[in-house]
Amino acid sequence: MRRGSVQLLDPARTQSLTGNAALEAIWYTVCAIPRGQVSTYGAVARAAGLPGRARQAGYALRVAPPSLKLPWHRVVGAGGRIAFPKSSRAHAEQARRLRAEGVAVRAGRVAASAITDLAEP
């Protein structure tokens, strides 16, 4: 399902995957991050209606089924830092995907101009 240029999840498909409203809210929020922009785990949690649950946002991305094709690479740590260890394959993949979308990544951090603070629904 698409709204404008934002890909949204099909509620019928996600409901059968977890039955967990918090995870689904985080997945929807991550899908709403525009291409070429990033958001922090904390901002994703707040926008999903879960203030103070940045770690749960990270957990939701970790357990998300690959079939959802979430743009996980658009979520970074506080201050725009890629949360994966610098020597990891995941760090390199996230930096590659962000650069492909036009986001500047330098020394494991994204440019401050690319960080968006998502509005609550």
Q: Does any domain span residue 121?
A: no
Calpha distance 35→68 (Å, rounded): 17
Q: Which amino acid is at 31?
A: C
Comparing CA positions, the residue from 28, 34, 35 lying closest to residue 10 is: 28
Q: Does any domain span residue 32?
A: yes
Q: Which domain holds residue 61?
A: 2-114
Per-residue pLDDT tens over the stretch 71-116: 999 999 999 999 999 999 999 999 999 999 999 999 999 999 999 9
Q: What is the mean pLDDT of the chain?
A: 87
Q: Does any domain span residue 119?
A: no
pTM of the shown model: 0.83
Calpha distance 44→118 (Å, rounded): 7
Q: What is the CATH number of the domain that holds 79?
A: 1.10.10.10
Q: How many domains does the chain have?
A: 1
Q: Residue 1's pLDDT is what?
A: 37
Q: Does any domain span residue 74?
A: yes
Burial 52-64 (b: 16+ CB within 10 A, else e): ebbebbbebbeeb
Phi-psi region of 61 (alpha: psi -120 to 50; beta: other; left: phi over 0): alpha
